[in-house]
Amino acid sequence: STKVVGGQIIEVERIARRRGTTVSVAQLFYNVPARLKFLRSARSEWRSAVESLTALALTHPAVRIHLSHDGKSALTLPPVSSIRSRLAAIWGGRYAEDLLDVDDVAGPIHTSGLVQRPVDVGTSARRVFLSVNGRAVRDAGIARAVEAAYRSTIVAGVRPSFFLNVTVPADAVDVNVHPAKAEVRFRDRWTLERAVETAVRRTLGTLDSAATFGFRGASFSFRPFEPPPNPDSEILREQIDRDSPLFAEDPTAADNGRTEYASAVSAAEVAAPAQAIPPLFQLRRTYIAFEHEDGLVLIDQHSAHERVLYEQFMHTLESGAAPAQRLLLPLTLHLGPAEGEAFDANREYLERLGFEVEGFGGHTLIVSTVPMPHPRFDAERCLRETLDTLTGDRVAGAAAKHERLAATVACKAAIKAGDELSQGEMRSLFAALRDTTLPAHDVHGRSTIVHLTWEEVERRFGRR
């Protein structure tokens, strides 16, 4: 036992106690009036103490921690084997259960921990914890990298919670840049931030991040339920050959205006054998349903198509290759001053997407060529709604403009709720969504997929 008063060791003696460390603090800065004067309220200082102990608890989950204040127990955390268990002890099992595991290695950089599902972002207080080589730190750059990984999966203005540990070689980080060691400096910050962003984005790309009703047990994937072989399944396979899929490449596209934006998607469906796609059913002309080994899955057809188009448009903006269709009768658009300004600001990027537009005096535009993402595409409506949405937009930087425009055009160009889809179109959309990097979320942060587990179904029917 060691007693320290005013910075001086007053007493040292041997005592009998359990293994561990107990720290008691009283009358802080009693002999330093200048420091005492700048202490905040007792409640604020207590909150800071709790935050410090919480960070220590998350850094070392195997250590038992007990915190008391004025003789009352405030926090008791038993030793656990994982950070998820530690989070469950602090904020509840449901909160910890809904977090996604991150575990990714990029060269000497290992990123691990837990992040929030996009569907849960903004529904509770934001909590952020970051450690580097086992030391709790603050780093705005890594926080921005995590947030960048969520781009096109959450609505603007909300920020995700995350609990991450980044392990790097000792010579790649300098911990002696802050008096309290709360900040660090990295030798190659850009590489580190990209590694963290990639690790989180890969996690968000899994179907575990989709909205789930019921117990989240085994990892959810696009692997459908596979019943015993049935000769009748050949009917579906033949039907796909007869139908005109939403994304299939049409050999007569030059004549009928159905040049497809997603020829790569057609290839994806060819690569996926017919038996890999389950029987699909359209509900209310809005949702695509199929049976999965872990439950029933619903896909929002508009949100799913929006995600597919967004990733295709982003690729087009970056590569410059834009399949398009020349109109037999050009469109004439009369715009207001605000819409005209939005067009002038985004003209270059609209042309990359396949819109060939010429001025006709004032704010009148002549549209002669348009992209053709699907046969139902209404080019005039899409262009008008896109310019209306971009009115007054002040996004700076080419990358940000690419994302903004791709998201806007994808939203306006995607098939709508209420559009009836053939079996072939549903299967093509299924295959295209499966091949995207973030299939579980549209560009607004909404879920494209809802997974209703069999456990939840049975509970509703009183079987559990």
The tokens of 360 are what?
């006709």
pLDDT at 401 over 60: yes
Is the residue at 223 inside a domain? no
Model confidence band, residue 298 (pLDDT cutoffs 50, 70, 90)? very high
The CATH code of the domain that includes 406 is 3.30.1370.100
Q: What is the mean pLDDT of the chain?
A: 82
pLDDT at 188 over 50: yes
For range 215-228, the mean pLDDT: 50
> For 358-400, what is each residue's pLDDT tens digit?
877 667 889 999 888 888 888 888 988 888 888 877 666 677 7
pLDDT at 244 over 60: no
Is the residue at 105 inside a domain? yes
Residues 168, 118 share a domain: yes
Residue 345: C-alpha distances to residues 339, 349, 391 (Å): 10, 9, 10
Q: Report the share of the chain in percent with pLDDT over 70.
A: 83
pLDDT at residue number 249: 43
Residues 40, 112 share a domain: no
Residues 52, 114 share a domain: no
Residues 144, 46 share a domain: no
Residue 111: C-alpha distances to residues 36, 90, 103, 412 (Å): 40, 23, 6, 37
Residue 217: C-alpha distances to residues 81, 87, 446, 454 (Å): 19, 18, 22, 11
Is the residue at 427 inside a domain? no
Residues 104, 51 share a domain: no
- Closest to 350 in 3D by CA, of 337, 369, 336: 369
Q: In what order do the strands lie in the sheet with 364-370?
A: 325-334, 364-370, 356-359
Residues 102, 199 share a domain: yes
Sign for the CA dihedral angle at 342, 345, 350, 351 comes to positive
Distance CA 75, CA 87 (A): 13
Residues 119, 68 share a domain: no
- From start to end of 278-433, where are the E strands? 281-283, 287-292, 295-300, 325-334, 356-359, 364-370
Contacts 24+ apart (CB under 8 A), 182-190: 182/136, 182/137, 182/138, 183/137, 183/138, 183/139, 184/132, 184/135, 184/137, 184/139, 189/141
pLDDT at residue number 209: 64
What is the number of structural domains in the chain? 3
Is the residue at 238 inside a domain? no
pLDDT at 271 over 70: no
pLDDT at residue number 237: 45
Q: Name the residue range of residue 45's domain.
A: 2-77
Predicted TM-score (pTM) of the model is 0.70
Is the residue at 159 inside a domain? yes
pLDDT at residue number 114: 97
Angle among Cα 245, 251, 253 to the nearest 5 degrees reads: 85
Q: Report the share of the chain in percent with pLDDT over 90.
A: 36
Decide which of 204, 227, 261 is a domain's last residue.
204
pLDDT at residue number 339: 87
- Closest to 216 in 3D by CA, of 81, 300, 94, 85: 94
Is the residue at 242 inside a domain? no
pLDDT at residue number 161: 95
Residues 120, 32 share a domain: no
Amino acid at 237: R
Model confidence band, residue 127 (pLDDT cutoffs 50, 70, 90)? very high
pLDDT at 263 over 50: no
Residues 176, 139 share a domain: yes
Is the residue at 65 inside a domain? yes
Model confidence band, residue 254 (pLDDT cutoffs 50, 70, 90)? very low
pLDDT at 121 over 80: yes
Residues 397, 340 share a domain: yes
Structural contact between residues 408 and 443, judged by C-beta atoms closer than 8 angstroms: no
> For 17-43, what is each residue's pLDDT tens digit?
888 888 888 887 888 777 788 888 888
Is the residue at 234 inside a domain? no
Residues 197, 109 share a domain: yes
Residues 109, 72 share a domain: no
Question: DSSP letter string over 257-302?
Answer: T---TTHHHHHHHHHS-GGGS---EEETTTEEEEEETTEEEEEEHH
Distance CA 207, CA 221 (A): 6
pLDDT at residue number 421: 94
